[in-house]
Amino acid sequence: MIFAGLLCTMAAPVSAQKDSEHNFEISKNLEIFNDIYKQLDLFYVDTLSADTVIEWGIKAMLNRVDPFTVYYPEEGMDELKEMTTGKYAGIGSVIRLYQKEDRVMIIEPWEDSPAAEAGVKAGDLIMAIDGKDMKGKSTQEVSKLLRGDAGSMFELTVKRMGVKEPLAFKITRRNIVMPSVPYYNMVNDSVGYIYFERFVGGCSRDVRRAVVDLKEQGARALVLDMRGNPGGPLNEAVEVTNLFVPRGQKVVYTKGKLASVNSEHYTTKEPLDATIPMVVLVDGATASSAEIVSGALQDLDRAVILGERTYGKGLVQLIREVPYHGSLKVTTSRYYIPSGRCIQAYDYRHLNPDGSAGTVPDSLTHVFKTAGGREVRDGGGIKPDVVMLPDSLPTIVYDVAVSDVALDYVNRFANEHPSIAPAGEFSLSDKDYAEFVKMVQESDFTYKKRTEDVMKLLERMARFENCYDEAKEEFEALAQKMQGDVVTDLERPKNKQEIKKLLENDIVSRYYFRRGVIQQQLRDDKDLKKALEILADTECYGNLLKPVKP
């Protein structure tokens, strides 16, 4: 006891000295920063805006901390509100730049939105907002003008394919709530499917409603799809988990530098269904609160996790007020799921030479145990119980997706077809695809094969190392095989298959909105098919949740 007390008395002045040195370093560097800005303002050749220059400094500082710590000045508070609540005031539509005319185009008015109710359609080219010409405006600039106070009215002028004169619509903005569960349905006689797209305030109620409805329709198993879900409020993650696990279970706890940010979060209600078999779908874009739900269900052996390794965001942010009506979203702690592991994958404090954040190698991660004794690891997101490899898209598919020619084809198809087959059943015929290929031929569409760049690099290296001449014939033969024009590449079976899916999804969105696109994509979804196989095999499902015997 005397020894312990002696250590305490010795530690106090050492700690005080460290605090004093730390505070001095802060004061010194703030004084340096303040003086540099004053000299810049006094001597720099041009007059500088204080708001702009200081914001540069703030952003540069925060960018070196982590990508989740962000300053929102007063004029950026709407963005913060939308991110945290999923709400904004506007017309409810997806827009994209149409490069051919240097204007923004409506890609999809959301179902039951002010835009859809006013008569705006996908493919409408925005000509003017309240009489102001929108030519040359970016999507960000147009988006800002389309948004405004709920209840405010404006005039939107558009150009529509097949209509000679521009159309003008009077639209009243209103609060738009992005749905957390845009689609759910039975996928067969016994399995219900829920597409859980985002975490916003109250999203657990939407998931609950979907589960109840599916069970009433006869669901005896569930697929919860959180692929692409970027996460959100931590409390909603606890509430969603509570739908499937008993009361009193620790779901997540947080640890930070300050005791005030340390917290433990338990389920507080009776579950909706604690035994129904479940498969949770995840991918590399499943992050934050979505990882808490999937990780907790894995740690508690409550569901089979299937898909790709998740993003690996194990950091928690709080919103802090700053002077002059701004806010700082700041990382205050790390979170840990029931097994005790933190799944943070990126080290933002020690960057790679190229400025990217390094990841924790598997060899340096630690083993933890689920409630039933299965081994899981920290430091790299949630590794699924059943790993599915992602499909890689050929270059030409991506280039078609972002091109004007795809928009032109979809606009023309929708203009010529008043209706199509139901979502999930619609397909383009070979004749339809041939018309698309012809349209590409007649357009200015170009793309550059990435293999050409790789071949040139390989040839340069071979010449540099004086071995090109020996392999010249092989180089030329390989280059010959890699050659091909746009039409040839469009007709390659794999390319054709993927481009048809792309066009079909875009066409379906014109008739059945977001929910229709989800239905269409599920038709060929290999992850969903694998999930259904697992749920249909009781023994397989049970074995996946049991520890692996040595």
Q: Are residues 214 and 235 in the same domain?
A: yes
Helix axes 450-464, 472-482, angle to 10 degrees: 170
pLDDT of residue 7: 38
Active-site residue, 288 included: yes
Measured over the CA atoms of residue 336, residue 341, residue 342 and residue 343, the dihedral's sign is negative
- For residue 520, is it within any domain? yes
Cβ-based neighbour number of residue 483 at 10 Å: 10
Residues 276-302 pLDDT 10s: 999 999 999 999 999 999 999 999 999
Full residue range of the structural domain in which residue 349 is found: 183-390
Residue 345: what are its φ and ψ, rounded to 5°?
-100, -25
Say whether both 231 and 270 belong to one domain.
Answer: yes
- Of the residues 121, 137, 159, 313, only one is catalytic, namely 313
Query: Considering 112, 147, 177, which residue would you say is the last residue of a domain?
Result: 177
Residues 367, 311, 509: CA angle, nearest 5 degrees: 145
State which residues of the chain have pLDDT below 70: 1-17, 448-449, 481-484, 549-550
Judgement on whether residues 321 and 276 belong to the same structural domain of the protein = yes
Structure tokens at 280: 């949770």
The pLDDT of residue 14 is: 59
Q: Are residues 331 and 446 both part of a single domain?
A: no
Instruction: Examine the residue annotation and report whether 215 is marked as an active-site residue of this protein.
Output: no
**pLDDT single digits (tens) 100-152:** 999 999 999 999 999 999 999 999 999 999 999 999 999 999 999 999 989 99
- CATH label of the domain that carries residue 384: 3.90.226.10
Catalytic residue among 225, 299, 404, 408: 299
The residues, any chain, with a CB within 8 Å of residue 34's CB and separated by 6 or more, are none
Same domain, 259 and 312: yes
- CA-based R_g, the chain, Å: 28
- Measured CA to CA, the distance from residue 226 to residue 279 in angstroms comes to 11
- Residue 53 falls inside a structural domain: no
Q: CA–CA separation, 154 vs 126, rounded Å?
A: 13
> Is 357 part of any domain?
yes
User: Is 47 part of a structural domain of the chain?
Assistant: no
Determine the pLDDT at residue 6.
36
DSSP state, residue 68: T
Together in a domain, 239 and 375: yes
Reduced to 3 states, what is the DSSP secondary structure of residue 71? strand
What are the DSSP calls for 151-195, one per residue? T-EEEEEEE-TT-SS-EEEEEE-EEEE--S--EEEESSSSEEEEE
Both 296 and 243 in one domain: the answer is yes
Instruction: Express as a percent the part of the chain with pLDDT over 90.
Output: 74
User: Which of 93, 180, 204, 288 is an active site residue?
Assistant: 288
Query: Is residue 391 within 8 Å of residue 497, measured between CB atoms?
Result: no
Does a structural domain hold residue 273? Answer: yes
Whether 249 and 329 map to the same domain: the answer is: yes
Total length of the chain: 550
- 417, 475: one domain: yes
Contact 229, 281 (CB under 8 A): no
* In contact, 408 and 98? CB cutoff 8 Å: no
Q: Is residue 538 part of a domain?
A: no
pLDDT score, position 140: 92
According to DSSP, residue 124 is labeled P
Contact 274, 242 (CB under 8 A): no
Indicate the number of domains in the chain.
Answer: 3
> How far apart (Å, rounded) are the C-alpha atoms in residues 63 and 69?
8
Helices (H), 229-331: 234-242, 289-299
Q: Record the tokens describing residue 302, joined without a space.
A: 């409550």
Same domain, 342 and 327: yes
**Which of the listed residues 390, 418, 451 is the one where a domain comes to its end?**
390
Q: Is residue 75 domain-resident? A: no
Q: Is residue 374 one of the residues assigned to a domain? A: yes
CA angle 334, 180, 114 (to 5 degrees): 135
Please name which of 144, 70, 88, 149 lies closest in space to residue 326, comparing C-alpha atoms.
70
- The reported pLDDT for the residue numbered 180 is 94
Last residue of a domain, one of 372, 390, 408: 390
CATH number of the domain that residue 95 is part of: 2.30.42.10
What is the pLDDT, as a whole number, of residue 3?
41
Reference 235, options 274, 269, 271, 265; nearest CA is 265
Return phi, psi of residue 314, to 5°.
Answer: -110, 25
Asked if residue 187 and residue 171 are part of one domain, the reply reads no
Domain shared by 230 and 163, yes or no: no
What does the block give as tokens for 99? Answer: 């490069």
Using alpha carbons, select from 305, 244, 301, 239 the residue that is nearest to residue 274.
244
| Distinct helix (H) and strand (E) counts, the chain | 17, 23
Give the CA angle between residues 282, 182, 121 to the nearest 5°: 125
